[in-house]
Structure 1
Amino acid sequence: MASSSNATNSLTSNTDDKNPKDNRAAAITKPASSPVLISTDLLRSVLTHHSLIRHIHDSLPAVSATITTPIRQSYAVSPSSSLLLMPSWSSSPSFPYIGVKLVTHFPQNSTLNLPGVQASYNLFSTITGQALASMDGTELTLYRTSCVSGLASKFLAREDSRVLVMIGAGNLAPHLIKAHLAARPSLRRVIVWNRTMQKAEDLVESLRRSEDHGGVCFETSGSLDEICELGDIISCATNAQAPLVKGRRLKAGAHLDLVGSFTHTMRECDDEAIRRGRVFIDNEAALVEAGELVGAFERGVIEQGDVCGNLVELIKGEREGRRNAEEVTVFKSVGSAVVDLLAAQLVYEALRLP
């Protein structure tokens, strides 16, 4: 999506040192006369994993109770493809936004070297109903999904975590790696595994060429079981239908981050991993959508009441995260329109409006 030169000139280059609340009054009282079009490159210039993790941490508990998020609507476009609508809106005058994410899921796109999931995000004012901005929803989703995992690892992974294992080398993988590195700067080694080894090697080479990661070593491995035994943090972003991570392979103190599954037939870890771990979720939808959890409930591995808490409860300190250096923790996310809206807010309020 192309952006206007005015939008280009009005964006800050970095939000790490910028509080989006500083521009909120301007965003509310002086909306642009037409929606700002925010391209992928412009969105990347506004968002960093550090800033979004911090923004979610600081804002999610306060706004989550004021945002209405209807169940996502899904329509079959073909037997294998679908269109999803994810609306949300705030009832708080201090957070005056409506957001709608339009998502297409075309899994066959892998044969065309295209993303299977693509999206557009539209932001409106709850005061006037005016369209405020339209942005790349695919990139926004990659940032918010990875930063939710990164934030969870601040509560659930060991502070001295050294080895990150990344299972999957798709579009989400580099974001998850950067988010975990931002959340756990003690990490010194990243090992990538993918069914197609060349994709893992390409990702590692790209990470080595990208910005300085402070001496972190990036490598690949063809032995999934072996590297699972090494991981202090294991992050999974795949479309797996059969378990990839075996619970017996997890070392004491490991943190397992499950991102890929969002249907009952998808599953990235086995029952033993769920049985061994203290399980946390991003939001309640995970209890009815995630294949790992739904299957574990059905098989009597754990009950819903055994889930230890959600992300908001962790942030607010209502549920205890990691309790000691030996326990295994599991975080399962399925995504949330609330976090979409927070990410879009951070992008939009980084505008210097005239």
Structure 2
Amino acid sequence: MQVFSADDVHRLLDYPSLVEALRAAHAADRMPLSRSSVMGELPDETNKFVSLVAWAAGDVIAVKLVGVFPSNLALTPPEPSVQGLVTLFHGATGRPLMAADGAAMTFRKTAADSALGVDLLARHDAEVLLIVGSGGLAPHVALAHTAVRPSIREILIWNRTAKRADDTAAGLLAEGLPVRSVTDLDAAVARADIISCVTMSTSPLVKGALLKPGTHVDLIGAYLPDMREADDDVVRRAHVFVDTRNGCDHSGEIAEPILRGLLTLDSIEGDLFDLCTGRHPGRTAPDAITMYKNVGGGHLDLFTARHLGVIAETAPHRVAP
């Protein structure tokens, strides 16, 4: 059985190849059997523990065990808010094949998921990327999105705590990306061609009234029904897409608009299977506003872990950006 540390995962899973692996997996149009559960110690507990299982018949089984502990970032020294393991088993015999660092796998998988959405839905001439939030995922979103949209000439980072935005921008600047932190979120929203939200917000941050024509809104953080990153005006103005329809209404970005009659599950225009198979053409007009809800799911962990195994066998010394 192979074991991959966080450094191994980041070294091997470069974003261009991972995005293409996810595209190919969705184009094959075979959804693995997937189940997930979320547990908290108390009803109002912010810490959560998530287990996800996905089984591609005759191929592989992926199991992810991951904790989400937001207060970890305030520890001394800080620890990642997402920690755990992703494991892969032989789909026909159950033999263990690999185990990998769960935080690194989650960062890479989640960023590549949204980058595939960007590649399918954002304008090809997009120049300004706004990242709302500056947790551990934010740098990965910047790297993944610029991998699929080399047209990006400016990256803006906003966070409620300005110093954290400054620190994230400084780290990306050191990697050669054209990035700066900003303090006026509304002004940044009005300028952006692509907006990616990576927060734990329970109230909307992105105002749909401020979006310019052609904007792509990528919503990653709100994974519970009481969480929200974009307001109802975003839903009203946008063509709405999700990465997966399975469980998408568990997110506040979809659940609240449904409750208010602004959206139905049938009015969601497509998911990654629809987009990657060509059943939906994606962006249909330069001025269209698109919204993409990154729901996640065990099938994406399976696709990512399977790709890691292939890469490890064929290019063991590969260095990922």
TM-score, structure 2 length as denominator? Answer: 0.93
Deviations 1:114-141 (A, max 9, x none): 2222120111112322111111011111
Q: Which has the larger radius of gyration?
A: 1
Contact 2:28 2:277 in 1 (8 A): no
1:184 maps to 149
Q: Which runs of 4+ in 1 moved over 4 A?
A: none
1:262 aligns with 2:227: no
Cα distance in structure 1, aligned partners of 2:135 and 2:297: 20
What CA distance in whole angstroms lies between the structure 2 residues aligned with 1:200 and 1:42? 27
Bigger mean CA offset, 334-343 vs 231-240? 334-343
Amino acid at match of 2:5: S
Distance 1:106 1:313 in 2: 34
Aligned to 1:76: 40
Letter in 2 for 1:60: H
Identify which of 190, 193, 200 aligns with 1:229.
190
Does structure 1 retain, via aligned residues, the 8 Å contact 2:29–2:277? no
- 1:212-269 CA-partner distances (Å, limit 9, x unpaired): 4xxx521111000000000000000001111100000100110000000011110001
CA distance in 2, matches of 1:75, 1:242: 22
Deviations 1:17-49 (A, max 9, x none): xxxxxxxxxxxxxxxxxx211111111111101
Measured in 1, the distance between the counterparts of 2:178 and 2:305 equals 32
Residue pair 2:12, 2:311 contacting (<8 A) in 1 also: yes
Q: Does 1:156 align with 2:121?
A: yes
Q: Does 1:314 align with 2:279?
A: no
d(CA) in 2 for partners of 1:64, 1:169: 34
Structure 1, unmatched stretches of 5+, are 1-34
Between the two structures, name the one with larger relative contact order (CA 8 Å, sep ≥ 6): 2
Output the amino acid matched with 1:309. G
Matching residue of 1:30 = none
SS at match of 1:123: strand
Change (3 A) 1:320 1:127: same
- CA drift at 1:286: 4.8
Q: CA deviation at 1:335?
A: 0.6
2:4 paired residue among 28, 38, 42: 38
Question: C-alpha displacement at 1:83, in angstroms?
Answer: 2.1
What is the alpha-carbon distance in structure 1 between the residues aligned to residue 205 and residue 247 of structure 2? 19
Matched residue, 2:317: none
Find the aligned partners of 1:271 and 1:76 in 2 and give their Cα distance.
28
Report the Cα offset of residue 349 of structure 1. Answer: 1.8
User: In 1, distance between residues paired with 2:15 and 2:299?
Assistant: 17
Deviation (angstroms), 1:204: 1.0
Describe the SS at the equivalent of 2:130. Answer: strand
Answer yes or no: is 1:171 the counterpart of 2:136.
yes
Alpha carbons of structure 1 residues 63 and 137: separation in structure 2 relative to 1, 3 Å: farther
Q: Which residue matches 1:339?
A: 300
Quote the residue 1:122 is aligned against.
Answer: 87
**Residue 109 of structure 1: aligned partner:** 72
- Of 109, 129, 132 in structure 1, the residue corresponding to residue 97 of structure 2 is 132
SS in 1 for 2:312: coil
Q: Match for 1:260: what amino acid? A: G
Give the letter aligned to residue 106 of structure 1.
Answer: F
1:325 aligns with 2:286: yes
Would you say the 8 A contact 2:88–2:97 is kept in 1?
A: yes
Q: Which amino acid is the alignment partner of residue 247 of structure 1? A: G
Q: Deviations over 1:49-85 (max 9, x none)?
A: 11100111112232633x2112x12233343333221
The number of residues matched between the two structures is: 311
The answer for the alignment partner of 1:16 in structure 2 is none
Does residue 25 of structure 2 align to residue 59 of structure 1? yes
